[in-house]
Amino acid sequence: MGRYECTPTSFLGIMFFFCFCPMVLSLLSQNQTETMTNLSKYFSFPVPWNDPNPCAWKGVTCDNTNSSVVGISLSGFSLSSPDFLPVVCKIETLEHLDVSNNLLSSIPDGFTTECGKIKGLKLLNFSSNKLEGALPTFNGFDGLETLDMSFNQLRGRIGSELDGLVSLKSLNLSFNNFTGSLPTKLGKSMVLEWLVLSNNHFDGKIPDELLTYENLTGIDLKANELSQSIPSNIGKLSKLETLILSSNKLIGEIPASLLDLTNLSRFAANQNHFTGPVPPGITKYLTSLDLSFNQLSGTIPEDLLSPSNLQVVDLSNNQLSGSLPTKVSPSLFRLRFGSNQLSGNIPSDGFATVQNLTYLELDDNELNGSIPAGLGSCRNLTLLNLAQNHLSGELPPQLGDLGNLHVLQLQLNKLNGTIPTKIGQLKKLITLNLSSNSLSGSIPSEITSLSSLTLLYLQSNKLNGSVPTHISSLTVLIELQLGQNQLSGVIPKMPLKLQVSLNLSSNLFSGPIPRGFGSLAGLEILDLSNNKFSGQLPDDLTAMSALTHLYLSNNQLSGELPKFSQNVQVDFRGTNLRNTTAEHNQLPYTASKKGISVTLAILIAIVAAIFLVGLVTVLFVSISRHYYRVNDEHLQPAEDHHHPQVVQSNVLTPNGIHRSSIDFSKAMEAVALTSNVTLKTRFSTYYKAVMPSGSIYFVKKLNWSDKILPVGSHDKFGKELEMLAKLNNSNVMTPLAYVLSTDTAYILYEFISNGSLFDVLHGSMGSSLDWASRYSIAVGIAQGLSFLHGCSSSPILLLDLSSKSIMLKSLKEPLVGDIEHYKVIDPSRSTGNFSAVAGSVGYIPPEYAYTMTVTMAGNVYSFGVILLELLIGKPAVTEGTELVKWVLRNSANHDYILDFNVSRTSQAVRNQMLAIVKIALLCVNASPETRPKMKSVLRMLLNAR
């Protein structure tokens, strides 16, 4: 470990000591001053410990007379050697020690024996380190009240290692790899109040012994493998306020004894296998209840929603039937009853008085009757999802009063009448889905004032008249679905940001196809099929540079088919168009490779999606019920250890060496073993696979959940990868081959032995990254990103750009990875908020919270964060806050924030680093418009050389 070597510190210290500082030093004993000085020699801080009074040092707390040190916090100091720990124990007055967010991999015995003698030590925080092996045995520590060892790699069973902690009140062992049954020896004197054991591999039942800790106020056992039922005498824990049992394998009924817990405020038991009814009265004292994704049946108790403190209720994805409760508490904030078998009406004024209601999801039930006008008075509603029911009648105009609405989903009902003009008042609306109803009349022109609208689905209705003239004022619209209506008339200028799809199929449009589509430079799918278009094609259709599919079939078109780029597939069946250029990708199209025709599969998927939306949605819902497990922190489905069932595999690279080395069955063997996992990012797991030839490859498994994967895109996937495989840039990681299985996809890449930038920079090799390497990495990433952003067909954006998605070919050569996510994962389908999906904490630009789209400016922000990581040497979340915020808080003197191990090498290095801090700060500007484009970032970086 690098020590702090600038000498003025000790020199100044001595000066103070001898001249006028006895006054200051007399406060802290000479022993403690000396110990603290000894301690400081173990570290090199960005902000050095150099004040003569240790009480003024960052992270050091003294008692209120400054006569003794009582707290030391070394959180986020990138410490990897634990040698300093026994020295800390010389501070006999220590009460709090926080060494969280470091890289410690062990706790020396000297620490447990020495610190165990400190009677006053109340808190130990080892959270977020790299501790390995078994839990240490704690002897002594008579006063220890709080022990936090969460987010480490501790493993094995827990016996009586903690039983000697007679004062233990709060224990957190979450996010480790502990196995066996839940520990029950948690301090002989039984004073435990908070127990957090979530995200481990504990199995077996919830032991009765746990119920003897009568002081427990909080229990979190989420994400383990617990089985059997909840002990029926759980009501004994009368002080319980929080009980979280989510994501286990618990069975049986929800015990009625929970009703005895008058202080229980939050109860979550979602994602288990509970059966039986929702016990009446369960919400009497609760503020939050989550029983989603179980097999609960019966009716919803009439009084469920009425208790006055109730804020959140989630019973979605069960088998509940009967009608909705009519009495609703005014404090209710979020209600989810989706995917049950509920019937009857939506109570006409039940929700009218619920001023706090922000999320209301009743989708995928059997509700009938009309949408009550009273919903219009829930002014805080942000999301209203009533899709897939049997709702009929007209859309109440009062919905236009919901000025905070972001998402309105009413598709797959039997709604009729016209679309009310007041809908134009929903200025914050991002998604509007009224598809698959029986709406008639024309599309109101007021719809064009929905300035935030990104997705507009009006297909499969009975809408007539023409498309609103000013539809192009929907400047952020990326998908427009108007198919299967009775629309006609002039096709106006379309919104220029359209990207996913523009669908005008199966309407009554006639006359020549107008010019103007050529300016839709980002549009990928244009469907004009099944209309009465006639005449020749406008010549600007070929100018659509991102186009992949053009559907013209069943129209009265004639003349010659212009020459499209080879990426475009044109379906002109049922027209009189003549194809003169032989190599055209006309449909039906037979893939030259073995296996089924990819294009045909896409076509079938699209046709199915249009004509059988109902069926597909049912399918989609059942698939997602199967794979998707709602968990706010963890979107990744459980690892499967069986061999995946391969549907299709394909080698993409033209490189002969790879083509002969890649062996798909070896690749599939590799992913069946968790011991081959070398790396995990948010959406992918990388496995190491050794081929029979001896060459090594990465097999990357996409951890997608169906909620965020567009329907039908399993088929589209191969095509997208083929395009990505053609990218040729030395800083972009391109796919070599892929395997599609029934439920996921695997992509093969060249093996990168160094791993990710995150691992190198924040791991033991961090100090070997000198400035030349870091600068070269920064420039390389910028080069890769500006290449991807400037891709001629359409820009390729990064969904989750972070130092974990950058691989290091060598210590100077970065590769931008995970480039396919943007094409195959659709975050807008996530049930959580968008920013929770698009990106990793610390890298997400602030605007994603409301724009809900991934942008180039967003990528620039994430790049800025990576630059800061390289400059400061700290991870993107540091000392519990985002690095960007940390920098802004400490920005008075940039010199101090630089990674001192690097900046101290020379004045020239320091100057260059300071210049690049300025570039990083431009990139992370809060306002996306003012951030520079990737190209100019690259230029600035090169100029800073």
Ligand X SMILES: *[C@@H]1O[C@H](CO)[C@@H](O)[C@H](O)[C@H]1NC(C)=O
In the complex, least distance from residue 148 CB atom to ligand X, rounded to whole angstroms: 4
Residue 290: burial class (beta carbons within 10 Å; 0-12, 13-18, 19+): buried
In the sheet with 177-178, reading across from the earlier edge strand, the strands are 132-133, 153-156, 177-178
In the complex, least distance from residue 330 CB atom to ligand X, rounded to whole angstroms: 23
In the complex, least distance from residue 181 CB atom to ligand X, rounded to whole angstroms: 25
Closest CA to 854 of 760, 862, 445: 862
Q: Alpha carbon of 551 to those of 253, 519, 554, 651: distances in Å?
A: 53, 18, 9, 29
CB of 317 or CB of 878, closer to ligand X: 878
The secondary structure element, H or E, covering residue 15 is: helix 8-18
In the complex, least distance from residue 760 CB atom to ligand X, rounded to whole angstroms: 23
Contact present, 121 and 92 (Cβ < 8 Å): no
CA 70 to chain centre: 39
| Beta strand spans in 297-411 (E) | 297-299, 312-314, 319-322, 334-336, 341-344, 359-361, 366-367, 383-385, 392-394, 407-409
CB of 120 or CB of 511, closer to ligand X: 120
Interface residues with ligand X (CB under 6 A) are: 29, 31, 34-35, 38, 53, 55-56, 62, 65-66, 75, 90, 98, 100-101, 125, 127-128, 146, 148, 238-239, 263, 880
Query: In sequence order, which residues have a C-beta less than 8 Å from that of residue 132 and are 6 or more positions away?
Result: 105, 106, 152, 153, 154, 155
Please tell me the distance from the alpha carbon of residue 150 to that of residue 127, in angstroms, as a whole number: 5
Query: In sequence order, which residues have a C-beta less than 8 Å from that of residue 17 and are 6 or more positions away?
Result: 25, 52
Query: In sequence order, which residues have a C-beta less than 8 Å from that of residue 110 and are 6 or more positions away?
Result: 85, 86, 89
Give the tokens for residue 90.
Answer: 């010389």
CB of 56 or CB of 612, closer to ligand X: 56
CB of 255 or CB of 393, closer to ligand X: 255
Contact present, 670 and 687 (Cβ < 8 Å): yes
CB of 34 or CB of 640, closer to ligand X: 34
Q: Is 800 a catalytic residue?
A: yes
Query: In sequence order, which residues have a C-beta less than 8 Å from that of residue 448 and are 6 or more positions away?
Result: 424, 468, 470, 471, 473, 474
Ordered DSSP codes for 580-605: -STT--BSS---SSSSS-HHHHHHHH
Cα four-point dihedral sign 552, 828, 830, 676: positive
| Catalytic residue, candidates 800, 818, 826, 899 | 800
Q: What does residue 760 show for φ and ψ, rounded to 5 degrees?
A: -70, -45
Please tell me the distance from the alpha carbon of residue 789 to that of residue 781, in angstroms, as a whole number: 12
CB of 215 or CB of 793, closer to ligand X: 215
Residue with tokens 């006895």: 22
In the complex, least distance from residue 123 CB atom to ligand X, rounded to whole angstroms: 7
In the complex, least distance from residue 127 CB atom to ligand X, rounded to whole angstroms: 4
3-state secondary structure (DSSP) of residue 532: strand
CB of 174 or CB of 505, closer to ligand X: 174
Closest CA to 513 of 458, 555, 571, 477: 555
In the complex, least distance from residue 75 CB atom to ligand X, rounded to whole angstroms: 5
In the complex, least distance from residue 844 CB atom to ligand X, rounded to whole angstroms: 19
Q: Alpha carbon of 295 to those of 227, 698, 749: distances in Å?
A: 15, 39, 41
Please tell me the distance from the alpha carbon of residue 924 to that of residue 921, in angstroms, as a whole number: 5
Query: In sequence order, which residues have a C-beta less than 8 Å from that of residue 18 and are 6 or more positions away?
Result: none
In the complex, least distance from residue 28 CB atom to ligand X, rounded to whole angstroms: 9
Please tell me the distance from the alpha carbon of residue 258 to that of residue 236, in angstroms, as a whole number: 9
Length of the chain: 945
Virtual torsion, Cα 33, 34, 36, 41, nearest 10 deg: 140
CB of 183 or CB of 718, closer to ligand X: 183
CB of 90 or CB of 155, closer to ligand X: 90
Residue with tokens 């081929």: 691
In the complex, least distance from residue 85 CB atom to ligand X, rounded to whole angstroms: 14
Closest CA to 508 of 478, 530, 524: 530
In the complex, least distance from residue 186 CB atom to ligand X, rounded to whole angstroms: 15
In the complex, least distance from residue 155 CB atom to ligand X, rounded to whole angstroms: 20
Please tell me the distance from the alpha carbon of residue 794 to that of residue 498, in angstroms, as a whole number: 12
CB of 52 or CB of 795, closer to ligand X: 52
CB of 119 or CB of 643, closer to ligand X: 119
Contact present, 868 and 884 (Cβ < 8 Å): yes
Please tell me the distance from the alpha carbon of residue 174 to that of residue 741, in angstroms, as a whole number: 33
Q: Bridge-partner residues for 90, per DSSP? A: none
CB of 261 or CB of 419, closer to ligand X: 261
Contact present, 837 and 849 (Cβ < 8 Å): no
In the complex, least distance from residue 76 CB atom to ligand X, rounded to whole angstroms: 7
CB of 146 or CB of 306, closer to ligand X: 146
Q: Alpha carbon of 37 to those of 13, 18, 154: distances in Å?
A: 10, 16, 32
**Residues annotated as part of the active site:** 800
